[in-house]
Structures are given as structure tokens and as C-alpha cells.
Amino acid sequence: MKIRKIVTLVEEIHVEGGKDVSPPARVAVVAAVIENPWAGQGFVQDLGPGIDENASDLGALLAPQVLAALGSPAEAYGKAAIVGLDGEIEHGSALIHTLKFGDHFRKAASATTLLPAVEKRGPSGVAFDIPLKHITDATIRSHHQSLEVRIADAPHAGELVVALAAAAQGRPQQRLASLSTEQ
């Protein structure tokens, strides 16, 4: 795995809807900008070797970093794979939609739900929204949220941006009734 850089973003919301948020709501993202392991090879039928060589190492690298950046236990989480213009969306999906990648985050966060994800192809600086859901119950509405991310110089055409995001709480000032009230 060839890493060009790692980007860490932390957002702290102090006011939402004109009301103070106490304690401030924290969300963190750690993104690795890596060389696409399938770049320049044309159509690759068997993505397995590239998955085996990269997915677990990438998950092991990013999971502890995003939780450290959050600075609190995670209550919600998500992931992203953004593919440069010379790659296929399937290249990003191959790395993040495997237990070899996601189980590092699930174990580190004591989570049981599937990680919600976004995959997309785009040029350097493309904006993407990472969806977040509760770490143990995907039906908890307060934790359904998203975080917009943009890395000015990534991904280059032959790169991938692979990111993990974590939130220490649900949406600030959330007040929707629980899903059980509609069933």
C-alpha cells in the first residue's frame, strides 16, 4: 500500500438551531490518500489479491486514528471510498466492503452494526458525504447523520481516498420520535 498522505478532520459543534450544544458535538474523520492498487492495469477481473494486500492494513491504520481524533467513545460511524478518475468505483468498494477492512473499526469501537458507506468517483477536491449510523442499532434515528468531506488535492487520477468517520453522539438538538412510535 502506497500512502501519499493522511488527513484528519475534527468538527465540534457548539451551537445548533440557535441553541447551545453542551457538551459540544464532536465528529472526526481520518482519510488515507493511497495509490489505487489496480491503477493502470485495465479491467481486473479478480480483485482478491489487491484486497488481501491492502484492506486489512488500511483498516488497522485508520480505525485507531479516527477514534483517537474523536477523543471520546464512538456512538456513530461510517466509511468512504473515493476513486480517482482513472479507477473504477468497484476498486474503492473492494477495499471497504470487506470484513478485513471494517472489522478493525467495529472491534475498536465495540460496534455490531454494518458500517454505512459512500463510494464515488471524482476529481481532486470532490466533495463527498460520509453517512453515519449508531454503532449497535442502525434504527436509532438520532444517530443517522452525515459529514461532508473534501480534500483539496485528492484523489489524483490513479488514487483512492479511503476514510473512516466517527461521532461521539447523535445529531445535535435531535428531537425525532423513536422509530418504534411508527410501527
Give the Cα-Cα-Cα angle 45, 50, 105 (nearest 5 degrees): 125
Mean pLDDT of all residues in 32-50 = 95
CB burial class (10 A; 0-12, 13-18, 19+) of residue 142? middle
Q: Could you give the CA distance from residue 82 to residue 175 in angstroms, rounded to a whole number? A: 32
pLDDT over 90 at 161, yes or no: yes
pLDDT at 104: 98
How far is the first Cα of the chain from the last one, in angstroms, to the nearest whole number?
Answer: 47
Question: Partners of 30 in the beta sheet?
Answer: 8, 164
pLDDT at 181: 67
Percent of the chain whose predicted confidence (pLDDT) is above 70: 97
Q: Which residue intervals of 47-98 are DSSP H helices?
A: 48-70, 89-96
Backbone angle region of 173, left / alpha / beta, with phi > 0 → left and psi within -120 to 50 → alpha: left
Percent of the chain whose predicted confidence (pLDDT) is above 90: 89
Class of the CATH-defined domain 3-182: alpha beta
pLDDT over 80 at 173, yes or no: yes
Q: Could you give the CA distance from residue 22 to residue 183 in angstroms, rounded to a whole number? A: 32
C-beta separation of 138 from 114 below 8 A: yes
pLDDT at 87: 95
Q: What is the pTM of this model?
A: 0.94
Residue range 88-130, pLDDT digits in tens:
999 999 999 999 999 999 999 999 999 999 999 999 999 999 9
Backbone angle region of 143, left / alpha / beta, with phi > 0 → left and psi within -120 to 50 → alpha: alpha
Question: Partners of 76 in the beta sheet?
Answer: 134, 167
Domain ranges within the chain, ordered by starting residue: 3-182
Q: Please report which confidence band the pLDDT of residue 40 belongs to, taking 50, 70 and 90 as the band edges.
A: confident
Mean pLDDT of all residues in 142-152 = 95
